[in-house]
Amino acid sequence: MSFFISDAWAEAAPAAAQQPDLLGALMPFAILFVVFYFLLIRPQQKRAKEHRKLIDNLAKGDEVVTGGGLVGKVVDLGDNFIEVEVADNVRVKVQRQMLASVLPKGTIKGGL
């Protein structure tokens, strides 16, 4: 009777799909973090450290530029505020954190 019914042969089982390892899956994220660190985070931290040093080393008589663009000479120092003379007998009180830079001595000529 086997000549009427052909034997059924099973096909070979498909090869198991190989899953990527955890290291390979996380590598793009690690590379992206390193790039962000060196291009964004590290320069910003360096800039903040330099600004903190600038504010800590501030002294009377320094010529400064504020964040708003005012140029003047430091007349009085406080913990949070400084007083900047922008013209003869014209003084402005400014937050320490709003200083943009300290100018070299003698930059401001004239009225101060």
SS3 content of the chain, % helix, strand, coil (to 5): 35, 25, 40
| DSSP secondary structure code for residue 7 in this structure | P
User: Cα(4)–Cα(87) distance, rounded to whole angstroms?
Assistant: 114
- What residue segments make up the domains of the chain, in order of their start? 21-57, 59-112
pLDDT tens per residue across span 26-84? 999 999 999 999 999 999 999 999 999 999 999 999 999 999 999 999 999 999 999 99
pTM score over 0.75: no
36 in Cβ contact with 80 (< 8 Å): no
Class of domain 59-112: mainly beta
DSSP H or E segment with residue 51: helix 42-56
Return the closest-CA partner of residue 86 out of 97, 98, 75, 101: 75
Q: Is residue 18 classed as helix, strand or coil in its secondary structure?
A: coil
Predicted local confidence at residue 16, as pLDDT: 64
